[in-house]
Structure 1
Amino acid sequence: MTKYDRWYHPYDIDDKYNRRVAYFSMEFGIHQALKTYSGGLGFLAGSHMRSAHDLRQNMIGIGILWKFGYYDQMRNEDQTMRVVFQKKFYSFLEDSGITVKVVVNGHPVFVKAMVLKPETFGTVPMYFLTTDIPENDYLARTITHKLYDVETNARISQSIVLGIGGAKVVDALGGTDIYHMNEGHALPLAFHLLEQFGGDVKELQKRMVFTTHTPEKAGNEEHDIQLLNRMSFFGNIPLEEARTLTGMHGPMFNHTLAALRLSKISNGVSQLHGKVAQHMWYENEGICDIKAITNAQNVPFWMDSVMMHACKNDNDELLTLRKRQMKMTLFEVVADQTGKLFDPNVLTIVWARRFAAYKRADLLMRDMNRFFDLLSRQDEPIQVIWAGKPYPYDYGAVEVFNKLVNFSYKRNNMAVLTGYEIELSRKLKQGSDVWLNTPRRPREASGTSGMTAAMNGSINFSVQDGWIPEFGVHGENSYLLPIVDTSLPDTLQDDQDYLNMMTVLEEEIIPTYYRNRPKWLSIVKKSMNDVVPMFDANRMAHEYYSLLYK
């Protein structure tokens, strides 16, 4: 027996946050050394766990210990992207002493919980589940090998391990008042609890809350309901009862819709996304209320302390010096990876996030002649950096990444970096002057990378989507693209956004950076001041307690 066999926190719980909450997420971006994340969803969950610790909340995190992480992004001989899966080892995780059994595809699978102590990285206690233990056969051991495994059966198995295995671990720790599903990956949890409550949905709803991050129906996970039943997704709940409880009468089972019907309350992750989610789902009977709690990031973890000090004291000299130092740190990575020497005196634009079609990584290159003319400017030059991980089996996204790599051969002031994880993300946000964000509106639920860029003196240059409408004031704390008609075909939206982007870049951003430094620095400082505390994860963690967990 260890102290982690019970609900343990190394601090006195604040009375405002005394309800027990177990937070379930398929990924957590806690630290560079812990490869249990793929992108924004994990970064958000990691900041939540840090701020819950800082606020002394009565919360724990439940995730999965991915043996191979997401994947390691490396390069082929021609510099294009190569996907590598390497085993990960963590000396700082401890055996909690808890092993539970779940049923997957009719077979028993044992799940061990490894604990991340709060003292290690400054989070609430976190329990990472693994099936890669001697008690299981080879197939069962592979369930927790790869985050977002391409095989459908593996993805379903991962949901069972997270949901039902996680619920049993929580039981072993003494239970909880609230189960919070961050996205629908842990949905089998609901059916496990329904079995305990004799199928009483109202009893379940007293304890279940749900966060959705996906602003279009096509992106919400669906599976054949017969396959889910064969895989033991519904636990011991008979298929027809599962249909009745979730209102699913067709051949496909929508995870988000089921979660909205089985939860007492849910939320989108920005004010705009909350409205989009309501529009998407309110036509369905029996769903819970959808509120909006805007995502945020943990300031102590992400914000450079020197920049913070300079901004608070209105010290332009120190602010400029520190930004130059941070640019040099980033440019060492550029030189190491690409052999290119970037200039800290040159305006540096960064586009860095998950590569997906709607995020339009290559929008800046829509007119290649104009783009190369822009890169060829001698009087007021720019440098552009791209980084980000496509889903390895999204071949369209990989093709865009590789296209950028191939074009980068042609210019010394254009670079594409690999390995976009927490530490590279930090360097890009600290070393950029402009943080470029180009999703098709309103398909970006939140887009939290711009928050941490703003915390480090990088000005957001963005489509008005996700969190940006709550923050951005054009020409004061950011540069914004005019809103285009979203009823237009994608190609026409892209044309309009491109022309607007180039106009703002050429007529406002570049001239201000080079010809009006006082104004540029005023925008930088206004951005840093406006992003905190509204987009500090402490605000977000507090709102979850006050709006969802009551």
Structure 2
Amino acid sequence: MLPATFSLPYQHPFSPDPQFKKSVAYFSMEFAVDQALKIYSGGLGFLAGSHMRSVYALKQNLIGIGMLWKQGYYDQERDTDGSMRPEFREKMYSYLTDTKIRFQIRVLEKDVWVAAYYLAPDIFQSAPLFLLTTDTDGNDEETRSISYHLYDADAALKVAQCMVLGIGGAKLLEVLEYEPEVYHFNEAHAVSAAFYLFKKYKSVPEVRKRVVFTTHTPEEAGNEKHEVTFLQKLGFFSGLNLDTIRKISGMKDDIFNHTLAALRLSRKANGVSRLHGEVSRNMWKAHADIAEIGHITNAQNNTYWTDKQLEQARVEKNTDAIVARKRELKTLLFKTVADQCGKLFDPDVLTIVWARRFAAYKRPDMLVWDIERFTRLMNDKDRPVQVIWAGKPYPKDEGAVGTFNHLYYLSHYFPNMAVLTGYELALSKLLKDGSDVWLNNPIVTREASGTSGMTAAMNASLNLSTFDGWICEFAKDSENSFILPVAKGEDINKQDCDNLLEKLETSVIPTYYYDRSKWMQMVLNSMNDVHEAFNSDRMAREYYQKLY
């Protein structure tokens, strides 16, 4: 029997606002709706979490479909020498409702049971979320492990995870007797659902009529590809034969490109910033029969992220109140620094933070590439700085883990340098609240949007950034942020590193210490400029207006 809340057919738990009445099922591999629900890794999850919070606030007729990761992404711990150690531990959530819904899908050449859990909207003020897991009775250890942890390193298991999200999510909606007007794939992880829908509706136009797609990956090489026979054997195409798969996906060779298939089986698609929309259109323009690619710039949820006292001070244009509150928030952050690193930071000292997923293109260690200049910066007693790093590398990315550990070992030489573990929603909030400068230095055009700088700006931190992603729509150099010139030519890494240190030495640090009125005007400008344009309420409205 189903619980009373799941008497079929499923009904959306709140009456939608008339302008948002079209029913949508939003498929995402990760959702970061609260620190307590550890089913996310980084930016994609943070973005989806803010989106779901705005759905709740605006009363939109949208439900989320995701995965219940038994061990989360991973817990970022330290080894005996202080280096990073990933831990995989079972998570339990008493606030989730077991719907008692169980159904089977064909995965890994086995009939696999899928269980559905439900996050009611009032728990975390989010859209209703259905979370799928294979860790349920009737499955063997291999198939249970499909939903153990987010982004498994094993290729077959990762594809199986995508199938549970896509095929499993589509089948769940049938079990619920809930037929949404729109299936929204947030990234291509759920594209297997399109082939399931083709079997149901019998034609590509009928699939396209229902499917929309958001791409987050600004490089063709970064989009997932597999041998089509490998996917077919795993059950990715819901039993369709190879000729049919080729015909409906437009695939010419034996390599199945997940993003390209999603673009071909959607009626509309979008990049996640204006620049990324341009990059995406250029990237895919050689391919026929793809959806029109627009852009809806990512945003974050003001209500969740913004400190209430800072927001009141912004509204009142009270820079003295911003300074006073910021000092309190820095003191709070520095308790975590002292706890983790044994270092006492000073709330009156300029504090720079680099915090997000560790990945090579994001260049987390760029600030230390010129170690002589970095050392001079860190040893300057007249204009002191404090620098904090945090972020989770993919646990199997040896290069990114090595970078994290290198920074940690380097921090032993500087009492004003800290490398923190456990970068999840709670630590992210502390760092946004407690930073003066939010450092963001990806290789230009490699960051589709980026969102961490938005929430930093909401909390009176100034962005210091390369000119990429959302920043291009926000930044006015020396008015609301500090922006590096776009590097051109051969060695862009050296140019960006030199420009970053130059900007710190000649602009950021002198302004903070010697021109406080300008600094505070920049902070106020930044808070005002980010408030509406980069609030996820605006983004959630645009998805209805432009995509659904």
**TM-score, normalization: structure 2?**
0.98
Give the deviation of 1:77 after TM superposition.
Answer: 1.1
**Which 10-residue stretch deviates more, 287-296 or 91-100?**
91-100
Maintained 8 Å contact 1:383/1:413: yes
SS at match of 1:473: coil
Q: Take 1:94 and 1:471, find their aligned partners in 2: how far apart are those partners? A: 41
Alignment of 1:434-453 (within 5 A): 434-453=437-456
Maintained 8 Å contact 1:8/1:125: no
Give the deviation of 1:209 after TM superposition.
Answer: 0.3
Q: Take 1:473 and 1:366, find their aligned partners in 2: how far apart are those partners? A: 27
| Match of residue 186, structure 1, among 166, 190, 193 | 190
Alignment of 1:208-219 (within 5 A): 208-219=211-222
Alignment of 1:322-341 (within 5 A): 322-341=325-344
Give the deviation of 1:11 after TM superposition.
Answer: 2.5
Give the deviation of 1:249 after TM superposition.
Answer: 2.2
Amino acid at match of 1:205: R
Quote the residue 2:114 is aligned against: 111
Alignment of 1:128-277 (within 5 A): 128-173=131-176, 174-198=178-202, 200-277=203-280
Quote the residue 2:358 is aligned against: 355
Work out whether 1:306 is the aligned partner of 2:306.
no
Alignment of 1:501-516 (within 5 A): 501-516=500-515
Q: Take 1:137 and 1:444, find their aligned partners in 2: how far apart are those partners? A: 39
| Match of residue 49, structure 1, among 27, 48, 52 | 52
Work out whether 1:3 is the aligned partner of 2:16.
no
Give the deviation of 1:73 after TM superposition.
Answer: 0.5
Gaps of 5+ in 1: none
Quote the residue 2:90 is aligned against: 87
- C-alpha change, 1:138 and 1:341, in structure 2 (3 Å) is same
Amino acid at match of 1:540: M
Amino acid at match of 2:183: Y
SS at match of 1:179: strand
Give the deviation of 1:396 after TM superposition.
Answer: 0.5
- C-alpha change, 1:341 and 1:234, in structure 2 (3 Å) is same
- The Cα offsets for residues 78-137 of structure 1, whole Å up to 9 and x where unpaired, read as 111001101000000001232221101331111111000001000111000011011212
Give the deviation of 1:18 after TM superposition.
Answer: 0.6
Amino acid at match of 2:471: I
Amino acid at match of 2:63: I
- The Cα offsets for residues 313-358 of structure 1, whole Å up to 9 and x where unpaired, read as 0112211111001101110000000000000000000000100001
SS at match of 2:300: coil
Q: Take 1:280 and 1:99, find their aligned partners in 2: how far apart are those partners? A: 41
Q: Take 1:372 and 1:484, find their aligned partners in 2: how far apart are those partners? A: 24
Q: Take 2:5 and 2:105, find their aligned partners in 1: how far apart are those partners? A: 24
Work out whether 1:415 is the aligned partner of 2:414.
no
Amino acid at match of 1:524: V
Work out whether 1:540 is the aligned partner of 2:527.
no
SS at match of 2:38: coil
* Coordinate RMSD, CA, aligned: 0.9
Maintained 8 Å contact 1:9/1:118: no
Give the deviation of 1:251 after TM superposition.
Answer: 2.2
- C-alpha change, 1:479 and 1:230, in structure 2 (3 Å) is same
Q: Take 2:152 and 2:280, find their aligned partners in 1: how far apart are those partners? A: 27
Q: Take 1:391 and 1:405, find their aligned partners in 2: how far apart are those partners? A: 17
Give the deviation of 1:248 after TM superposition.
Answer: 1.2
Maintained 8 Å contact 2:373/2:501: no
Quote the residue 2:76 is aligned against: 73
Amino acid at match of 1:514: Y
Give the deviation of 1:457 after TM superposition.
Answer: 0.3
Amino acid at match of 1:469: C
Amino acid at match of 1:279: N
- How many residues are paired up? 544
Q: Take 1:172 and 1:61, find their aligned partners in 2: how far apart are those partners? A: 16
Q: Take 2:88 and 2:11, find their aligned partners in 1: how far apart are those partners? A: 34
Give the deviation of 1:8 after TM superposition.
Answer: 3.2
Quote the residue 1:470 is aligned against: 473
Quote the residue 1:127 is aligned against: 130
Give the deviation of 1:6 after TM superposition.
Answer: 3.8
SS at match of 2:413: coil
SS at match of 1:409: helix
Give the deviation of 1:250 after TM superposition.
Answer: 1.6
- The Cα offsets for residues 434-465 of structure 1, whole Å up to 9 and x where unpaired, read as 00000000100001000000000000000010
Q: Take 1:439 and 1:320, find their aligned partners in 2: how far apart are those partners? A: 29
Q: Take 1:428 and 1:439, find their aligned partners in 2: how far apart are those partners? A: 19
SS at match of 1:210: strand
- The Cα offsets for residues 482-513 of structure 1, whole Å up to 9 and x where unpaired, read as 1122xx34xx1011111111111111110110
Amino acid at match of 1:394: D
Quote the residue 1:494 is aligned against: 493
Give the deviation of 1:211 after TM superposition.
Answer: 0.3
Give the deviation of 1:7 after TM superposition.
Answer: 3.3
| Match of residue 463, structure 2, among 455, 460, 465 | 460
Q: Take 1:393 and 1:96, find their aligned partners in 2: how far apart are those partners? A: 34
Give the deviation of 1:541 after TM superposition.
Answer: 0.4
SS at match of 2:41: coil
Q: Take 1:437 and 1:7, find their aligned partners in 2: how far apart are those partners? A: 43
Q: Take 1:178 and 1:22, find their aligned partners in 2: how far apart are those partners? A: 6
Amino acid at match of 2:196: H
Alignment of 1:327-406 (within 5 A): 327-406=330-409
Identity of aligned residues (%): 52
Amino acid at match of 2:5: K
Q: Take 1:62 and 1:152, find their aligned partners in 2: how far apart are those partners? A: 22
Q: Take 2:357 and 2:446, find their aligned partners in 1: how far apart are those partners? A: 14
Q: Take 1:497 and 1:137, find their aligned partners in 2: how far apart are those partners? A: 51
Give the deviation of 1:3 after TM superposition.
Answer: 2.0
Give the deviation of 1:226 after TM superposition.
Answer: 0.7
Q: Take 2:355 and 2:540, find their aligned partners in 1: how far apart are those partners? A: 26
Q: Take 1:323 and 1:434, find their aligned partners in 2: how far apart are those partners? A: 12
Q: Take 1:8 and 1:379, find their aligned partners in 2: how far apart are those partners? A: 63
**Which 10-residue stretch deviates more, 183-192 or 94-103?**
94-103
Q: Take 1:417 and 1:6, find their aligned partners in 2: how far apart are those partners? A: 47
Maintained 8 Å contact 1:472/1:480: yes
**Which 10-residue stretch deviates more, 11-20 or 21-30?**
11-20
Maintained 8 Å contact 1:28/1:37: yes
Q: Take 2:13 and 2:433, find their aligned partners in 1: how far apart are those partners? A: 32
- The Cα offsets for residues 344-401 of structure 1, whole Å up to 9 and x where unpaired, read as 0000000001000010011111110110110000001000000000001110011110
Maintained 8 Å contact 2:465/2:484: yes
Q: Take 1:317 and 1:502, find their aligned partners in 2: how far apart are those partners? A: 29
Maintained 8 Å contact 2:319/2:524: no
SS at match of 2:70: coil
Q: Take 1:481 and 1:319, find their aligned partners in 2: how far apart are those partners? A: 26
